[in-house]
Chain A
Amino acid sequence: MMGNENKPMKLAYYPGCTLKNQAVNFDVSTVSSMAKLDVEVEELDRWNCCGTVHALDSDNVMNRVAPITNMIRVKEAQARTEGMASEFMTSCAMCYNTLKRANIDVKQRADALATINDLLYLEETKYEGDVDVLHLLEYLRDRVGFDNLAKKVTKPLKGLRVACYYGCLLVRPKEVAFDDAENPMVMENLIRALGATPVDFSHKTECCGAYQTVGKPEIIADRTDKIMGSAHGEQADLVVVSCPLCAFNLDFRQDDAKRLNPDFHNMPVLYFTQLMALAFGCDESALRFDLQHIDPLPVLKARGLD
């Protein structure tokens, strides 16, 4: 379902807070890669917090208000934009998970949706459960297709050994997962289309410790040691992720992992979109490797990819 020759598709895009702060590299590499794929990405007007971590308790309507407000923004964007479907894409795994689960929840509970629409009485548009939430990986696989995507590669990532880390939010719970919960392969298939070599590693869906990084960084040191150690054990050059919280824990907490385990081997952690942008021949302004804690350039240089 790529756009035809004359009219590129327009896709509503939800970046999320961290892509406008520490993870600007995720934002610019997402937008630049999509441009290379002839998908016109339009950032949503007035998007707000996704809700950040789905509330699991039954008394949760208040927690759904923030995510559902974004669905109204999508409907507004769709109403004024020709060629835009009633859906939007996000590349952040946390935003995807929280928005998708809130959306599924209100679609199943008419009373909760009615309450939320009542609370949002100042909005001119009502939400009727008619917006779909897509993750970028799912969009690339199902709409663009990895064969088509491979045709846009101008700089194949030949010889680069990549460990694809999914963490939790792309694969759990099963209602939001777009791949197998225990052994997802969508990122590996993308990496292969970019010319790189995915490595199999045991910890690809093991939690990084998430927000415990705030008050208990010693726990993250242990998680990072085990997850990155598992990737290193398979001779990976680097790890790719889709979540800015995983990225922070696996990249910036490597100093703590090294203090915990002197044998810890530092390894770069990139967003999968950065590898796409690199393979599509985007320049440094679309990669922003300067925002990485562990510099990926030595590894890329060793593979002739700098």
Chain B
Amino acid sequence: MDTTLRITSTHAGSSFVARIEKISGQKLLACYQCGKCSAGCPMANFMDVLPNQMIRMAQLGMQKQLLETKAIWMCVSCLTCNSRCPKGIKIAEVIEALRKAALGGVERNDHLEIMALSPEARSVLPPIATISAMRKLTS
């Protein structure tokens, strides 16, 4: 029984891990998958991948799969996960870093089509809604 399982960030895809850690200012490997973030997440019902799974995928450098999830666009940084994480990881910061990675390319990668809304739908929205949505969901 001398099998050693070593988890490191020196595998393929680690430049992605390093980038996400840098943008978010978080240590991804601190997560031990307790799941409290997902348990309290008000958006979890609408996510294809849960917050603790996002962290796992980020740890493993699964850049393509992660940036294709719907889940990273669901978070509204309510920070319930951050305030309950026993390891002090700011999950919302990690998700924002993933968005930055997706939004910051050469091409626009908007996840909100404000002009696709009807004029009536647009006119009732308060500025606080429109501005925050455009700030967080568009390139």
Contacts and interface: CB of A to CB of B under 8 A. Distances in A.
B89 to A, nearest CB: 13
Nearest to A51: B135
Interface string A53-69: 11111110000000000
A212 B77 CA distance: 11
A207 interface: yes
A52 B24 contact: no
Contact of A210 (B46, B76, B80): B76
A212 B74 contact: yes
Given A213-B125, A252-B124, A173 B112 contact: no
B40 to A, nearest CB: 9
A213 B23 contact: no
Interface stretch (B10-18, B54-62, B92-100): B92-100
Most chain-A Cβ atoms within 10 A of its Cβ — which of B77, B126, B130, B133?
A: B126
B128 A17 contact: yes
Interface residues of A, number: 41
B25 interface: yes
Contacts of B133: 211-215
A215 B113 contact: yes
A206 B42 contact: yes
Contact of B129 (A172, A207, A214): A214
A6 to B, nearest CB: 39
Contact of B80 (A52, A54, A59, A207): A207
A209 B42 contact: yes
Contact of A21 (B93, B117, B127, B132): B127
Interface in B82-135: 82-83, 90, 92-93, 96-97, 100, 111-114, 117, 124-133, 135
A154 to B, nearest CB: 32
The prevalent SS among residues of A at the interface is: loop
A195 to B, nearest CB: 30
B42 A173 contact: no
A149 interface: no
Contacts of A211: 76, 129-130, 132-133, 136-137
B78 A210 contact: yes
Given A21-B126, A22-B126, A207-B80, 14 more contacts: A17-B131, A49-B131, A52-B132, A53-B135, A173-B79, A173-B83, A210-B76, A211-B132, A212-B43, A213-B133, A215-B117, A215-B137, A244-B128, A248-B126
Nearest 9 interchain pairs by C-beta: A207-B78, A210-B76, A211-B133, A214-B133, A172-B79, A211-B132, A56-B96, A168-B78, A22-B126
Interface of A: 16-18, 21-23, 49, 52-59, 92, 94, 167-168, 172-174, 181, 205-207, 209-216, 219, 222-223, 244-245, 248, 252
16 contacts: A18-B126, A18-B128, A21-B126, A52-B131, A52-B135, A56-B77, A56-B90, A56-B96, A92-B128, A167-B78, A211-B133, A211-B136, A214-B130, A219-B43, A245-B126, A252-B124
